[in-house]
Structure 1
Amino acid sequence: MQQITESRMDSRALLAAGVTVVLWASAFVAIRVAGQHYSPGALALGRLLAGVLTLGVILLVRGEGLPGRKAWPGIAVSGVLWFGVYMVALNWGEQLVDAGTAAMVINVGPVLIALLAGWVLKEGFPRRLLAGMGVSFAGAVIVGISLSAGGASSVLGVVLCLVAAASWAVAILVQKPALRHASALQVTTFGCAVGALACLPFAGQLVTEAAAAPLSATLNLVFLGVFPTALAFTTWAYALARTTAGNMGATTYAVPALVVLMSWALLGEVPGWLTFVGGALCLAGVAISSRRRPVT
């Protein structure tokens, strides 16, 4: 009976991770559209406010209260880094590079997660990890070179995406322990609220830009808050609580491919061949790093 239960939980975690991957892929396209009328900080704050409102209603309906005291350090740090720094850096980066390129560079994150786990969790630094990191960062450099013809701003876009990846990696490391003391919904709701508080300095920009933005841009902002934030971050936390951070990182490998397809279909954007090669190297390095020897 225990084996059946564990198998069923794994299936649910896999389904939740799948929902997350699809919605996060759609976020790169929505950010590209909304970012034409909203600055990075205003877009992040508007997205987070929509997310907090959605999550708050769900939290009240479900009757869940405040998270346990031991969950708050992880919620606070992941809220600032993932819901705050990550979103602003990604929004800014996507104003300088295309959606597909941003998604591919962001996927250096799982390598950074492995590196931090080796240091913080004392898992060591196996050769496979170091080799994969080298491949991934070589890919990031190639992406930067391929975009250098567009000026320094394009290279800055890649750097900003790497900052977002680093923020994501640290956030995952502290979010995982928090999920032992609070539900996925609680961790996501209050993490989103912390991120919104961190982005409050952009409130003036949000009000000004919302008044001038077309309805389509604002609808994309609301979409980002309700689906890729409120829903996808909750399904991510749900799955993360039931598996390892490494396994969850591996599920994001599909995001760049989905983003390229979505951005091609909806935006007419396809990265150049050299950019694609660099992005492929990023993903190859992550795959090399995440491979584990079977336990005997």
Structure 2
Amino acid sequence: MAQAGSTMAILAAVLFGISTPLAKLLVHDLSPWMLAGLLYLGSGIGLGLVRLARGLSASQERNERSIHGIEWFWLLAAVFAGGVTGPVLLMFGLTATSASTASLLLNLEGVFTALLAWFVFQEGFDRRLVAGMVAIVAGAVVLSWGGTVDIVGGWGPAAVVAACLMWAVDNNLTRKVSLADPVDIATIKGLVAGSVNVGIASALGDGLPAVPTAAAAMLVGLLGYGVSLVLFVIALRHIGTARTGAYFSTAPFVGGIASLAIFGEPVTVGLAAAAVLMGLGVWLHLTEDHDHEHVHDEIEHDHPHVHDEHHRHHHDGPVTEPHTHKHRHGRLRHRHAHFPDAHHVHTH
């Protein structure tokens, strides 16, 4: 399942990365806030329509389960942090921060995501994983470097940093609900974040664009923000927050490659350097071997699963895999290569 998680995270980064140059084609007709709002609304409305088209029982038909219990608290907290607080902080920060400085500071989201995952939510890590994260972030910094940076004595850069922290909190809290239906999660987050950003744009005096422009932006948002987020949540389920965030941090490089084809931009030294650094970082993560003796405490939960070494329970009749139902895990001590998925949330 680790390979599946890594694949989902990389695909999420590819879709999000491609959406950036596509969004640039629309930015001359829209303000940044209205564009962001329509992108998010496109993801929320589009996925919501998909959900309705499948019927109210779609989660069961797709072997996914609904959000329930304490998960609603974690999801609402994630939405408040990343969909409400983050955009507002970024709005205020950008008013007092140069574009080059803001672009550089936005790379802190990946750093904060990993630090929170490792030191607050107790995901396991080692020197190889840290080195990979450093290489990927270094590649992102090379891509976003504008030649100058000014972060001294201003509240603007501090607000941008705070926005990155809120998105990192969002990523880590979303991991806590990642066993639920990812389409439901992405729909809710898209609708809330889209409403907030459109509200910000309206407060700044922006009006809604023409229908063709709005439709184009929402279509890009459905793929680059909606489907991408669904894949991101699935990756969180299998490989944890820090690793998913690291893979997703390659999105700017994907966007840079896509810009070569869309805008005919030249290959720069920065893009080539970023390719080397990010390629090294991804390789370090893909070749990670986290193997040690660990204990599984007794737990009862429900989530999509197959009958692997962690799921050896009995069914009265034939079942399809994967499937979802409430099941119990007994206490178990063993050793094997693993990642911080739902069954391996332990300290080191």
Q: Deviations over 1:218-268 (max 9, x none)?
A: 354122322112221112212322332233224325423321111121123
TM-score, normalised relative to structure 2 = 0.60
TM alignment of 1:1-296, pairs within 5 A? 12-62=4-54, 63-64=56-57, 67-84=67-84, 89=90, 96=99, 108-122=108-122, 146-148=146-148, 165-180=164-179, 182-202=180-200, 204=202, 208-211=206-209, 215=212, 217-270=213-266, 273=269, 275-276=270-271, 279=274, 283=278, 294-296=290-292
**Cα separation, 2, equivalents of 1:234 and 1:289:** 25
State the Cα RMSD in Å.
4.6
**Cα separation, 2, equivalents of 1:77 and 1:271:** 41
Query: Which one scores higher on RCO, CA 8 angstroms, separation ≥ 6?
Result: 1
- 1:175 Cα deviation after fit: 0.3
AA at the equivalent of 1:263: S
Q: Deviations over 1:168-195 (max 9, x none)?
A: 3221110011224x31112111122222
Q: Deviations over 1:80-116 (max 9, x none)?
A: 34345666749x79x946xxx96x9755543322211
Percent identity over paired residues: 21
**Cα separation, 1, equivalents of 2:147 and 2:53:** 48
Q: Deviations over 1:101-153 (max 9, x none)?
A: 96x9755543322211233124589777877787777777777764339x99x
Would the alpha carbon gap of residues 276 and 146 (structure 1) be closer, same or farther in structure 2, given more than 3 Å must change?
farther
**Cα separation, 1, equivalents of 2:171 and 2:109:** 10
The answer to whether the 8 A contact 2:78-2:170 is kept is yes
Would the alpha carbon gap of residues 193 and 67 (structure 1) be closer, same or farther in structure 2, given more than 3 Å must change?
farther
The answer to whether the 8 A contact 1:140-1:278 is kept is no
Tell me whether 199-208 or 46-55 shows the greater mean CA deviation: 199-208
Would the alpha carbon gap of residues 60 and 223 (structure 1) be closer, same or farther in structure 2, given more than 3 Å must change?
closer
- Residue segments in structure 1 that go unaligned for 5+ positions in a row: 1-8
- As a proportion of its length, which structure holds more helix? 1
Determine which structure has more spread, i.e. the larger CA radius of gyration: 2
TM-score, normalised relative to structure 1 = 0.68
SS in 2 for 1:210: coil
**How many residues end up aligned between the 2 structures?**
274
- Residue segments in structure 2 that go unaligned for 5+ positions in a row: 60-65, 293-348
- 1:49 Cα deviation after fit: 2.2
**Cα separation, 1, equivalents of 2:22 and 2:288:** 35
- As a proportion of its length, which structure holds more strand? 2
The answer to whether the 8 A contact 1:54-1:226 is kept is yes
SS in 2 for 1:38: coil
**Cα separation, 1, equivalents of 2:112 and 2:24:** 25
The answer to whether the 8 A contact 1:21-1:252 is kept is yes
